[in-house]
Amino acid sequence: MTRTIPAPTLDVDRVRADFPILARLVNGHPLAYLDSAATSQKPRPVLDAVREYYERHNANVARSVHTLGTEATEAYEGARAKVAGFIGAGSADEVVFTKNSTESINLVAHAFSSMAADPRFRLGPGDEIVVSEMEHHSNLVPWQLLCQRTGAKLRWFGITEAGRLDLTDLDRLVTERTKLVALVHYSNILGTINPTATVVARARQVGALTLLDASQSVPHLPVDVGVLGADFLAFTGHKMCAPTGIGGLWARADLLEAMPPFLGGGSMIETVLMTGSTYAPPPARFEAGTPPVAKAVGLGAAVDYLRGIGMAAVAEHEKRLTAYALDALATVPEIRIIGPTDLVDRGATISFAFAGVHPHDVGQVLDAQGVQVRVGHHCARPTCARFRVPATTRASCYLYTTTDEIDALVRALAVVRKVFA
Amino acid sequence: MQLDQLYQEIILDHYKHPRGCGLRAPYGAEAHHVNPTCGDEITLRVRVGGGRVEDCSYDATGCSISQASASVLFELVEGASVEEALRDHGAFAELMAGRGTVEPDEEVLQDAVAFVGVARYPARVKCALLPWMAFKDALLRAVGAADERIPAKEG
């Protein structure tokens, strides 16, 4: 007899009680916050951790012998260890604190040049970088700039009509000329969760490095860098219950070791002479200047909070919401989903077009009903172009989202119809 | 915030029945403006002659506010003197910058007074201004191309 393992669950009412903002009214209606893909709300333990840090431990890090300085340093490095554990990193030294995913990706892009000492980072005419058409601008523009600087060529995977990564040309796109494949793990606009293992395997076969933009996956799915097998992982704190202004780059230790400094300044050096300097080992090499200590502490608290609930439970909750939302939106005849319409490898971030009404107007009417969605091209203009829409309306869920909020969205969409009929 | 203050009947009417839309030739200058945050776009042409705006034609994609704004703009400036058109531009820009505190002059702005509600929504002000920015850009270049002097303000 086989035993079925019950799916992990979370008590959404208890979760919501941790998020003070969810109790407020917006335009006279209960807030229905459906914009967590843009930024998540913050639970009280995170807010408390930041406050307690400032009230009790605040000092500069890594340069003081006094008690507060020691406590601040321990809090900062403790947060790094928590983040490392959360993503399955082998060592805390493989986690560099940055301000967000954008900075993480730019940091990696900066390591590549025509003069790089390490051949893995040497890039010039004849070399190629591969991205996809569903990248957020943060995982596209840095590579365009790098290609302009070095003469390397940028190539990309397309997207199928169903909103999936088109891997038909995988072996023709990722070749011996490829130096790096930079791919979004979980699309912020389509909600697609990409088959990264297939792409990583091909990249490894041809000797290319791989970077995953995990901005949306680290907050919503159990993520283990050992399982993913990529070389770099970029993520941001504010989408996973932490404050804005703190994010991370995970990279294999031997790669970080081979990478040149990013920003120059205090804390990233070993010895400084007027004639030149030597640099600290990673991760300090990439963290010039006084870091955002309190924000890192907030990120550490966010990791504790999410671990307490369990990422498997978060993912399961969102899977149920996705099913509920896709069914609910299917009852609105004007709506066309932009992205996968089934539940396979798909997250609770759902973009749609409302026939005859511009997303700006949709978002405005929804806002008047207290429903907060994102409208626009979601920093993924090429994806919008691919689906022949100037912009989309996007509803995105998180661990605190309820089916009532999805119902509020559907009710508010009826008002859109009424106003623009 | 009241939705009907934003989406006044006049605005919805201009949105559903835009006046003067479509690109026409000949024209003195053309401007293409985009709103990078939302992807709204407008291509707008201006022809000037004898110190007047002889035609203002446009092709726009975007939300109801930007579309209605282009239609209202057309009605105001078509046939107006260059000076009047610039005055209208100034009055509309002032209204949009006013966060709902500027009392619009209906004599000057006509249907555009309906945009007073838009000024209370900072996120939508750019939508309303898009056609006007394109218009000013095209107008000044059309004036330059026609070598017409913008008449100095009196007084």
Q: What is the tens place of the pLDDT at every residue in A216-237?
A: 999 999 999 999 999 999 999 9
Tens-place pLDDT, residues A41-61? 999 999 999 999 999 999 999
**Given the structure tokens 């009404």, which residue do they identify?**
A357
Tens-place pLDDT, residues A305-322? 999 999 999 999 999 999
B154: confidence class by pLDDT, cuts 50, 70, 90? very low
Mutual angle of helices B9-16 and B64-77, in 10-degree steps: 90
- Three-state DSSP at B43 gives strand
Instruction: Among B1, B7, B41, select the one facing A419 at the smallest CB separation.
Output: B7
Instruction: Among A27, A357, A376, select the one facing B38 at the smallest CB separation.
Output: A376
Instruction: Among B6, B39, B65, select the one facing A381 at the smallest CB separation.
Output: B39
Instruction: Give the start-end residues of each E strand in A209-308.
Output: 209-213, 232-236, 247-251, 269-273, 276-279
CB atoms within 10 A of CB A254: 11
- Asked if B80 reaches chain A (Cβ–Cβ under 8 Å), the answer is no
DSSP for A107-165 reads HHHHH-BTT-SSGGGB--TT-EEEEETT--GGGTHHHHHHHHHH--EEEEEEE-TTS-E
pLDDT at A191: 98
Intra-chain end-to-end CA distance of chain A, in Å: 58
Residues of A with CB under 8 A from a CB of B: 27, 357-361, 364-365, 368, 375-377, 381, 384, 390-391, 419-420
Which of B 93-132 lie inside 8 A of A, CB atoms? Answer: 121, 124, 127
- Asked if B41 reaches chain A (Cβ–Cβ under 8 Å), the answer is yes
ipTM for the predicted complex comes to: 0.86
B148: confidence class by pLDDT, cuts 50, 70, 90? low
Please state the separation of Cα A8 from the chain's center in Å. Answer: 23
pLDDT at B149: 53
**Given the structure tokens 């970029």, which residue do they identify?**
A234
Predicted TM-score of the model (pTM): 0.93
Q: Is the torsion defined by CA of A419, A356, A187, A378 positive or negative? A: negative
By CB atoms closer than 10 A (0-12, 13-18, 19+), residue A98 is buried
pLDDT at A390: 86
The Cβ-side half-sphere exposure at A108, using a 13 Å CA radius, reads 36
Find chain A residues with C-beta within 8 A of B65's C-beta: 360-361
A421: confidence class by pLDDT, cuts 50, 70, 90? confident
Instruction: Among B1, B12, B39, select the one facing A376 at the smallest CB separation.
Output: B39
Please state the separation of Cα A186 from the chain's center in Å. Answer: 8
3-state helix vs strand vs coil in chain A, percent to 5: 45, 20, 40
* A224 touches A87 (CB < 8 A): yes
Instruction: Give the start-end residues of each E strand in A178-296.
Output: 178-184, 209-213, 232-236, 247-251, 269-273, 276-279
pLDDT at A65: 86
Q: Chain B: nearest CA to A215, how far in angstroms?
A: 20
Helix (H) or strand (E) run with residue A394 in it = strand A392-396
Find chain A residues with C-beta within 8 A of B63's C-beta: 358-361
CA pair distance A127, A124, nearest whole angstrom = 6
Compute CA distances B119 → A359, B104, B122, B123, whole Å.
Answer: 19, 11, 6, 9
Rg value, chain A, Cα: 22
- Cα–Cα nearest to A121, from A105, A138, A108: A108
Tens-place pLDDT, residues A111-159? 999 999 999 999 999 999 999 999 999 999 999 999 999 999 999 999 9
Count of residues for chain A?
Answer: 421
* A400 touches A12 (CB < 8 A): yes
Min mean pLDDT across A14-18, A85-89, A381-385, B99-103 is at: B99-103
Catalytic machinery residues of A: 379
* A70 touches A55 (CB < 8 A): no
- Asked if B12 reaches chain A (Cβ–Cβ under 8 Å), the answer is yes
Count of residues for chain B?
Answer: 155
Domains assigned to chain A: 12-30+310-419 (3.90.1150.10), 48-307 (3.40.640.10)
Q: Is the pLDDT of residue B147 over 80?
A: no
* A413 touches A160 (CB < 8 A): no
Subunit contact B41:A381, Cβ cutoff 8 A: no
pLDDT at A330: 97
Q: Is the pLDDT of residue A267 over 50?
A: yes
Residues in a beta bridge with A165: A159
pLDDT at A62: 79
DSSP for A339-368 reads S--SSTTB-SEEEEEETTB-HHHHHHHHHH
pLDDT at A46: 98
Subunit contact B121:A364, Cβ cutoff 8 A: yes
Please confirm whether the linkage preceding A283 is cis (ω < 30° from 0).
yes
Tens-place pLDDT, residues B38-92? 778 999 999 999 999 999 999 999 999 999 999 999 999 999 999 999 999 999 9
pLDDT at B43: 97
Compute CA distances A266 → A77, A107, A238, A277, A366, whole Å.
Answer: 17, 17, 26, 11, 47
Question: Which residue type occupies B101?
Answer: T
pLDDT at B155: 39
Compute CA distances A174 → A85, A128, A166, A340, B8, whole Å.
Answer: 31, 9, 13, 25, 54
Contacts of A66 (CB under 8 A, 6+ apart): A59
CA pair distance A143, A178, nearest whole angstrom = 13
Find chain A residues with C-beta within 8 A of B3's C-beta: 364-365, 368, 419
DSSP letter for A53, please: I
pLDDT at B99: 87
CA pair distance B54, A93, nearest whole angstrom = 68
* B15 touches B71 (CB < 8 A): yes
Q: Tell me what the mean pLDDT of segment A290-295 comes to.
A: 97
In chain A, what percentage of residues exceed pLDDT 90? 96
pLDDT at A370: 97
